[in-house]
Amino acid sequence: MLALATGLTGAVAAQEPPAAEKAKGPPADREPVVSVTRHSGTFGGQRISYTATTGETFLRAEDGTPRASIFSVSYVREPRDSSRPVTFLFNGGPGSGSVWLHMGAFGPRRVAIPSDGTDDGAPPYPIVDNPESLLDVTDIVFIDPVGTGFSHALGETDPTDYWGVTKDARSIAQFIRLWLNENDRWNSPKYLGGESYGTTRTAAVLNQLEGAYNDVSLNGIILISTVLDLGAGADTPGNEMTHILNLPSMAATALYHGKAQAPSVEQFVEEARRFATGPYAHALLQGAALGAEERASVRSELARFTGLSETYLEQADLRVTPSRFYKELLRDRGVTIGRLDSRYTGRDYDNAGETPDNDPSFFGIDAGYTAAINQHVREVLEFRTDRSYVTIGSVGPWDWRLGGGRDNDVYVNVAPYIGRALRENSGLRVFVGQGYYDFATPFFAAEYALSRTGIPQDRIHWEYYGSGHMMYVRDEDRVKLSEDVRAFIRNR
């Protein structure tokens, strides 16, 4: 069991006035609010004592003016050891706080929502010890970028100064450097990771940390539910690659819901990969020149993989977008399937529409996670604020430009950042974890992005899970993910 010792508040928070009152003052007239508590628990089979440091880090202008407050939670094993790895984690969105990885996968406590793809219902939600936390092998820092969690712009700062692929990455890289300064951890083994857009962020932050001469060199990056090549995966008319990259996820989903037959999901998706890059790609790239005989052959196989009728596939011109697939696959049962996790099903207002009313795999988990992060941070970690924790918020307009010319800014692909880092840092390794039932970041799209020219393949490790985007909501996959990442860190 996780024994929570009496909280000990750090020097900043312990001073008068109390932290809750101090946080209300004008940003320029106060110091960052921080709470320090001490705990112990059993992780990876080891009994661990650790300190949790929860609160703000100010990002400052060159003249020292505070411009933004970054909220983070650091879990550091006691006694402290600078030779021990430290792992920096965040989620995606790009408007998402780190609540999902924190309270679902790797934090010392987690919210226990249903594991079988059903709705999390109403509170109270069990918040339980998490033996799958990685604290036995690494210290962990959960980071909320500006506009997420409790992080926000200060004073007259325009928050859009931090809202963009490169702007956001610079701010996280600045935070990491400050954390290394304050904790004397510059020579520690370092890991960086994220989920969903957090993998895009990981690549961009990697570029900020290792792309200049004042390097912060990393031992590994952890990519969970990966999206790197946003151009190839764009669900937009005229982009044929999106249909190719989504097909194996459709096949896995059809098999899961009994709309296809195969001995195993692994075998079926491998068949789908070969069909997608072979006959299907050949047919799509011909466009209007596709002949009737080849069209009929491809349509028949497409029906076998997707579980959709040949009539529907013909009406869709062999190109079924994910949003249509969510509605059509189980229309005969009167339910839709999820985008984040296609194991989930939901019921719409009626059964006549083209696309679902909402994503059942998101509204099936969001309430539990929101309650858990607020309860854990305020009650256990003793951080007090009047601000609302932003689990998923609006951080727009988002600046997608990477720089380096028009083509880089139109076709957004951060995978080359990873390729360059692998070529220039012989000690860097990459972990990639993908769920078979994830349409937000399809596994085949991740495979495509990381198999391009210029990306060494010998230090990329892949793992797959029988769930979706947030694979850790399934109990078996949370355990497997923990074991997989733990082994990745140990094997440096």
Q: Note down pLDDT in tens along the chain; length 492 residues.
A: 233 332 222 223 333 333 333 333 345 568 899 999 999 999 999 999 999 999 999 999 999 999 999 999 999 999 999 999 999 999 999 999 999 999 999 999 999 987 787 777 888 999 999 999 999 999 999 999 999 999 999 999 999 999 999 999 999 999 999 999 999 999 999 999 999 999 999 999 999 999 888 899 999 999 999 999 999 999 999 999 999 999 999 999 999 999 999 999 999 999 999 999 999 999 999 999 999 999 999 999 999 999 999 999 999 999 999 999 999 999 999 999 999 999 999 999 999 999 999 999 888 788 899 999 999 999 999 999 999 999 998 888 999 999 878 888 889 999 999 999 999 999 999 999 999 999 999 999 999 999 999 999 999 999 999 999 999 999 999 999 999 999 999 998
Handedness of CA 111, 112, 116, 117 (dihedral sign): negative
Amino acid identity of 163? W
CB 421 within 8 A of CB 213: no
Domain boundary among the residues 361, 390, 422 is at: 361
d(CA 467, CA 65): 45
Q: Are both 193 and 326 inside the same structural domain?
A: no
The string of pLDDT tens digits covering residues 105-143 is 999 999 998 778 777 788 899 999 999 999 999 999 999
CB 96 within 8 A of CB 443: no
86: tokens are: 């430290």
The string of pLDDT tens digits covering residues 361-376 is 888 788 899 999 999 9
Q: Are both 278 and 226 inside the same structural domain?
A: no
267: tokens are: 């075998």
Q: Are both 335 and 460 inside the same structural domain?
A: no
Domain membership flag for residue 474:
yes
CB 372 within 8 A of CB 469: no
Q: Are both 227 and 349 inside the same structural domain?
A: no
Per-residue pLDDT at 119: 77
d(CA 410, CA 405): 9
Domain boundary among the residues 361, 376, 406 is at: 361
The CATH number assigned to the domain holding 106 equals 3.40.50.1820
Q: Are both 191 and 314 inside the same structural domain?
A: no
Phi, psi of 460 (to 5 degrees): -110, 125
Q: Are both 76 and 190 inside the same structural domain?
A: yes
Domain membership flag for residue 70:
yes
Site of tokens 């712009």: 153
Per-residue pLDDT at 30: 82
d(CA 457, CA 214): 26
Domain membership flag for residue 236:
no
Phi, psi of 58 (to 5 degrees): -85, 130
Per-residue pLDDT at 84: 97
357: tokens are: 């009313």
Q: How far is CA 183 from each of CA 2, 187, 297, 325, rounded to the nearest angstrom?
A: 25, 11, 62, 49
Handedness of CA 421, 426, 427, 429 (dihedral sign): positive
Domain span at residue 467 reads 11-231+366-490
Domain boundary among the residues 306, 340, 361 is at: 361
CB 54 within 8 A of CB 73: yes
Q: Are both 328 and 220 inside the same structural domain?
A: no
Per-residue pLDDT at 404: 79
Report H helices in 78-124. Answer: 99-101
Q: Are both 345 and 471 inside the same structural domain?
A: no
Q: Are both 292 and 185 inside the same structural domain?
A: no
Q: Are both 165 and 258 inside the same structural domain?
A: no
CB 169 within 8 A of CB 74: no
CB 100 within 8 A of CB 370: no
Q: Which helix (H) or strand (E) holds 432?
A: strand 429-435
Domain membership flag for residue 2:
no
Domain membership flag for residue 81:
yes
Q: Is 346 helix (H, G, I), strand (E, B) or coil?
A: strand
Domain membership flag for residue 292:
yes
Measure the N-to-C terminal CA separation of the chain; round to a whole number of Å: 30
CB 102 within 8 A of CB 357: no
Strands 152-153 and 66-78: antiparallel
Q: Which of 373, 365, 291 has its CA nearest to residue 97?
A: 373
Angle between helices 265-275 and 241-256 (to 10 degrees): 160
Q: Are both 115 and 251 inside the same structural domain?
A: no
Report H helices in 329-365. Answer: 360-363
User: Domain total for the chain?
Assistant: 2
Provide the β-strand partners of residue 109: 129
Per-residue pLDDT at 28: 52
- Cα 401 from chain centroid (whole Å): 21
Domain membership flag for residue 1:
no
Domain membership flag for residue 4:
no
d(CA 169, CA 194): 12
Q: Are both 176 and 196 inside the same structural domain?
A: yes
